[in-house]
Structure 1
């Protein structure tokens, strides 16, 4: 392949990514310190200014998902830019955010009674450019609603992290779909205590990226990654001929 063709193919790939909602980082934005999670996304950078959904089938998965997302918030926070957490039944304990190094003044909460109000508030918040990240707990999210959310983040550059407890249908335009489960805490030198928070993080689907699975621990104010695990490939026996 000639250098001319390779350059045009690369330009076309970047254009396709922009059409699909990926926003290139500007010079003022640092690459999120997310280790191997970055490599799962196109261009090797975690997708900000995009919609991510987190599936939580059980109550304990909700707690694990909230903890992991709190770690993401710490990593994605920009100086002086607030973030918003929206829910109809708050599953996060605000003072606990301090354990993840999140300044209190940068986190806003909206507690609403009805889920349709949560969805409306989420869409309006994603249009608000001063916000950094918007987290929302939404059980049902159809294709049309998720498309409106995607159009909002493409314009504003705000990142949406949507927690979906026990969803009935998975039909959305989100760039990535995650599933988080808790693991026994990491303890140094067999010391007593609950240990550092640890999760099984699965990236089930990512547009134009590479799904994967990792064991991640939160310690010393950042994510610590165990070696990435790769699902075993299914071996299909060859047919005999003749």
Structure 2
């Protein structure tokens, strides 16, 4: 059996061959929506920048930062390109992502075995041609690795959507936009307060914040139809 790193490498090679004849033209669009109008309004260009890294810092586990990354990936995805999910902790739930609008037939799910293989997979995915977005949950990133991720995204035009703990906030970041996601107390809905800590081209971003209600997303998932919302991923790796 192939190691997770070898299996991931084989998947990425197949992905490149599969898309080598694709003629999809999405590179002319340099920005795309976060999926939430309230967040788009905080950004200088009204959206996230392709060919960059975006950080979602989660104030607590399950705060909703991962869902925001999936929402952005859905907006980034275009016909003829792929979303890659690097899921070492197996947090990604394909039926929910499909219910929200992610095209799983143009997605790749990779399960690295350790941190080293996770970082390797993220960089390779960001460098791959025709990859629209890469979702990952790296708990630790040294400055050198972070910089390699940024250069890989700039070279390919892919966007890296990095979901990380809020404890990473003091670390140096190479992200074009950095968000802090905090759950808000509510008896009737799942609300988040999202602060734009940093954004390329914007000054005094520390004061920029918005609240979003995730109930609209949650109610779109109908568990009784889950079996119809989970087609097999185009390529996946397992431990």
Q: TM-score range by the shorter chain?
A: 0.5 to 0.7
CA radius of gyration, larger in: 1
Residue 82 of structure 1 is matched in structure 2 by 82
* 1:184–1:68 Cα change, 3 Å: farther
Greater Cα shift, 84-93 or 134-143? 84-93
Structure with the larger RCO, 1 or 2 (CA within 8 Å, 6+ apart): 2
* 1:26–1:186 Cα change, 3 Å: farther
Residue 148 of structure 2 is matched in structure 1 by 148
Kindly report which structure 2 residues correspond to 1:176-215, keeping only aligned pairs within 5 A, or say none: 176-183=177-184, 197-210=190-203, 211=205, 212-215=208-211
Unaligned runs of 5+ in 2: 1-25, 218-239
**Across the two proteins, how many residue pairs are aligned to each other?**
188
* 1:94–1:182 Cα change, 3 Å: farther
Q: How many angstroms does 1:182 deviate by? A: 3.1
Question: Structure 1 length as normaliser, TM-score?
Answer: 0.67
Question: Structure 2 length as normaliser, TM-score?
Answer: 0.68
Q: How many angstroms does 1:60 deviate by? A: 2.8
Distance 1:157 1:111 in 2: 23
Residue 213 of structure 2 is matched in structure 1 by 217
1:49 to 45, 48, 51: 51
CA offsets 1:198-236 (integer angstroms, 9 cap, x no match): 422211111231521111235767xxxxxxxxxxxxxxx
Is the contact made by 2:180 and 2:194 (CA closer than 8 Å) also made in structure 1? Answer: yes
* 1:186–1:93 Cα change, 3 Å: farther
Residue 71 of structure 2 is matched in structure 1 by 71
CA RMSD between the two structures: 2.7
Q: How many angstroms does 1:98 deviate by? A: 2.2
- SS of structure 2 residue aligned to 1:59: coil
Kindly report which structure 2 residues correspond to 1:93-104, keeping only aligned pairs within 5 A, or say none: 93-104=93-104
Residue 126 of structure 2 is matched in structure 1 by 126
Greater Cα shift, 159-168 or 105-114? 159-168
Kindly report which structure 2 residues correspond to 1:15-54, keeping only aligned pairs within 5 A, or say none: 27=28, 31-32=32-33, 34-54=36-56
* 1:35–1:59 Cα change, 3 Å: closer
Distance 1:88 1:56 in 2: 17
Is the contact made by 1:142 and 1:172 (CA closer than 8 Å) also made in structure 2? Answer: no
Unaligned runs of 5+ in 1: 1-24, 188-194, 222-242
